[in-house]
Amino acid sequence: MRLTEIRIAGFGGQGVILSAVVLGKAASIYENGFATMTQNFGPEARGGACSAQLVVSDAPVLYPYVARPDIVVIMSQEAYNRFAAELKPGGTLIIEEDLVRVSNVNLDKKVYSIPATRFAEELGKRMVLNSVMVGFFSAVTKLLSPDAVRKAVADSVPSNFRELNLKAFDRGYEYGLTTKAGAPPELEEVGYAQE
């Protein structure tokens, strides 16, 4: 895997930090690469702004902070407003489509959207939306092997929620295999769709 800068952002309670931990663990433990992660919280524990910066590479990471992310995963409107502009040209934007409205999409970016919260609710627990997002991330970016990420999910969640989180991962991954990069539906209607 080449050096890749990733920002994951949303609000407290969505599993933003755990998503970064899972991806970092997949890269460093299950793919024998390297990863660094830093995190940021708002003053509130749940519901406040939350973000994680993750750098993964096949060589030691010399600088742990994300300067210009290759991939941005957004799970709330506030996070979109704050972090979407950081994405480098040609980068990948992944959004929770039911919680984020996209505006001003540059056509030099790949945009993927998933109703992760809805899928998590269908599985019975909203709290597994991060595992849905991690599965979707794995499918659309192809940065890390799905087996490595799945193992990292299993290793990172409490044993009594392991099966549910693995189902959530699989749901996101399967959805990602069938999706295509493009603008979210509300922008496709006004001519922003990408190939």
* Bigger pLDDT: 102 vs 7: 7
Mean per-residue pLDDT, 140-168:
96
pLDDT at 104: 67
This prediction has a pTM of 0.88
Pairing of strands 92-96, 110-114: parallel
pLDDT at 47: 62
Q: Identify the band that residue 13 occupies on the pLDDT scale cut at 50, 70 and 90.
A: confident
Q: Identify the band that residue 105 occupies on the pLDDT scale cut at 50, 70 and 90.
A: low
Residue pair 7/72 in contact by the 8 Å Cβ criterion: yes
Of 106, 72, 114, residue with least CA distance to 92: 72
Domains of the chain: 4-188 (3.40.920.10)
Query: Distances from the Cα of 192 to the Cαs of 88, 102, 108, in angstroms?
Result: 18, 11, 11
DSSP-derived letter for residue 47 is: S
pLDDT at 103: 77
Residue pair 10/75 in contact by the 8 Å Cβ criterion: yes
pLDDT at 191: 34
Write the burial class of residue 191 (CB in 10 Å: 0-12 exposed, 13-18 middle, 19+ buried): exposed
Owner of token pair 């600088």: 63
